[in-house]
Every structure is written in structure tokens, then in C-alpha cells.
Amino acid sequence: MPTLDDVRRAAKSLAGSIERTPLARSEALSREIGAEVFLKLESLQRTGSFKVRGATYAVSRLPREARARGVVTISAGNHGRGLAHAAAAAGIPCTVVMPAGANPVKVEATRALGAEIVFAANANEAFALVDRISAERGLRFVPPFDDEDVIAAQGTVALEVLEDLPNADVLLAPVGGGGLVAGCALVVKSAAPKCRVVATEPAGADKLRRALEAGKVVRLERVQTVADGLAAPFTGERNLRILQGRLDGLVVLSEEEILAGLRFLLERCRVLAEPAGAASAAALLTRRAGVKPGERVVAIVSGGNLDLARLPEYLGKG
């Protein structure tokens, strides 16, 4: 398992290759829930999401021979775009397997970075396809979440948060495969153990809730959520082991609650977020995150790659 020292090494390696995103106080959210709310704006990160952290660090750690052959991954969009960015910077080939129906904005942005896009029927079939492509072409698979280097790099988000707000009481992070929240929980419970870590995921992709209840990874046969960035069909093994005993809460959100969070960020906070990026704010608005009056709360806005064509639908005007 990665350690706090691993996260610190990742932070040093990433310096200059990624943005140190701002931690901005939200007056609107603070008033709404009666606490001091800060937004960690990974929506302003290069490629529009936190995923570029893990992808960039993982590529930097590859042996020279593996780098020369190229990389492959599976992604609903943000990790693929992050890996395409990292591969382009390193001058190596990149292939991204995406489920059919992936966000077209993310597909085109990934292709524009020079990546080859291969589509699979759904998320579960995509995992089988990426294994086959890796074996047939000799490409190095860079996992989207269940990987020590990726987890360590995603943990740099929390490292920056604690540098900017060392007395934070609560940190909220969304859950796709669990790389972000696992990396953040590892950092917080090592460096600021009194700070509570709360995860949030869609009811239509509640793999972490089921895994915590079962005590093991549970693979969902069907995933359905507007938050495509949180639509991984299972939580990673490493991520689950990190979260067991480190997670202080889990908020499972309906589709309506996710979109209410998105609308609040857009209309009241003037923050551009995709549905997955709005999940932490949405969890705060439900009042189910266990936040006490006056506490210092950080909500990670994990991504801002919004499909503008669906904006009327998201705003309830479609």
C-alpha cells in the first residue's frame, strides 16, 4: 500500500507538470449549510480533472522500454484524457478504451491529444478489452484507480488541501473506482487524523457502499448514473483496503441530488463542474455528510468537463 511518504514523493515529481489548484471559500455553500465551506477546484486542473495527476505520475514511473511501447487504459473520459495528456508530453503512444455512449466532449478532447480511442459495449466489457489490447500490442496498462502510483498521486489533492487549510474538520471526495478518496484518506488520516473523510457516490453506481457492507470488492452488473465520472463498476482492491478503517462516512446520492448540486455550483457559486465534480457539494446540500455548525469543510470539485449540450437537461429545462 502507498504511504504518506509516497504521496510526498509524487507531489515532488508532479511539481511543474500539473496545476496547484486553488482552495476557494464558497460564501453560498457556507451560508446554505451553516459551516465554513471551501471548494478544492480540480475542475481547473490541466485536462479539467484530478485524473491527470495519477496518469502523469504513473507514466513518469514506467521503465524506459515500457514507455517506448506505449500505454493503454480504460476510462469513461477523464482518466483517458489525463493519460493522453501525459503520453503526449512524454512522446509515447496512447490507446484509451471507452464504453459506448461515453461523454462526447471527453472523447473528442482525448482524441485531440493524439490518443487512439477504442469503444466497448459497456464498462465491464471495456475491462476485458483493455486486457486483450495490452497483451496483443505489448502496451503497458495504466489503471484508472487501482494502482499504487495512481493512488499516491491522487492523494496529492489532500496534501495541497492540508497545506492551505491545516485545521480542516471534514474532507469530502467523490467515488468512481476510489483512487481519489483512497489517496486523500491515506493523507488525511496520516497527517491530520482528527479531520473526517466522507465519500460520496451515486445510488446507480453504489459499488463502495456494497463493498464496505460485504467486506470485499463487489462488481456491479449494471451501472446507471448521470455522473459518468463516477460510473466505475467496482471499487479497486487497494482502494477498498485503504478505506476500510479510514472512512468516516459515505453519502449515496440520487440522480436528482447530484443535479441539484450541479445547479447550485453553476448558479450560486459560479463554478463550472460536471455531474461527478458536483457530487461532494451535493452531499453537503443533503445535510447527510455529518457536518456540524461552524466546521471547516472541504468539498473536492473533481472535474469540470461538462457536456454543454446536456446543460438544459441538467438545469431541468430540457
Contact 179, 230 (CB under 8 A): no
pLDDT tens-digit profile of 14-39? 999 999 999 999 999 999 999 999 99
User: Hey, which CATH number is domain 51-141, 3.30.930.10, 3.40.1010.10, 3.40.50.300, 3.40.50.1100?
Assistant: 3.40.50.1100
* Grid cell at residue 188: 488525511
Kindly state the percentage of the chain with pLDDT values over 90.
92
Contact 126, 120 (CB under 8 A): yes
* Confidence (pTM): 0.95
- Residue 71: exposure state from Cβ atoms within 10 A (0-12, 13-18, ≥19): buried
pLDDT bucket at 83, cuts 50 / 70 / 90: very high
* Grid cell at residue 2: 502507498
- pLDDT over threshold 90, residue 305: yes
Phi then psi for residue 301, to 5 deg, are: -90, 95
Q: Domain residues of the chain, as ranges?
A: 4-50+148-314, 51-141
Q: Cα–Cα distance between 36 and 147 in angstroms, integer?
A: 33
Q: Cα–Cα distance between 308 and 153 in angstroms, integer?
A: 29
DSSP 8-state code for residue 43: G
- pLDDT over threshold 90, residue 123: no
Residue 12: active-site member: no
> Between β-strands 36-41 and 23-25, what pairing exists: parallel, antiparallel or unpaired?
antiparallel
- Residue 274: exposure state from Cβ atoms within 10 A (0-12, 13-18, ≥19): buried
- pLDDT over threshold 80, residue 293: yes
In this prediction, residues 79-87 reach a mean pLDDT of 97
End-to-end CA gap in the chain:
45
The angle, 0 to 180 degrees and rounded to 10, between the axes of the packed helices 51-60 and 78-90 is 40
* Grid cell at residue 5: 511518504
Range from 51-60, 96-105, 240-249, 256-265 carrying the lowest mean pLDDT: 96-105
**If you classify domain 4-50+148-314 with CATH, what class do you get?**
alpha beta
Q: Cα–Cα distance between 280 and 135 in angstroms, integer?
A: 37
Contact 65, 154 (CB under 8 A): no
Out of 26, 49, 75, 302, the active site residue is 302
pLDDT tens-digit profile of 230-286? 999 999 999 999 999 999 999 999 999 999 999 999 999 999 999 999 999 999 999
Predicted confidence at residue 317, as pLDDT, reads 63
4-50+148-314 matches 51-141 in fold: yes
Out of 51, 106, 189, 207, the active site residue is 51
- pLDDT over threshold 90, residue 196: yes
Residue 40: active-site member: no
Q: Cα–Cα distance between 239 and 154 in angstroms, integer?
A: 12
Phi then psi for residue 38, to 5 deg, are: -120, 140
Predicted confidence at residue 102, as pLDDT, reads 87
* 219 CB neighbour count, 10 Å cutoff: 14
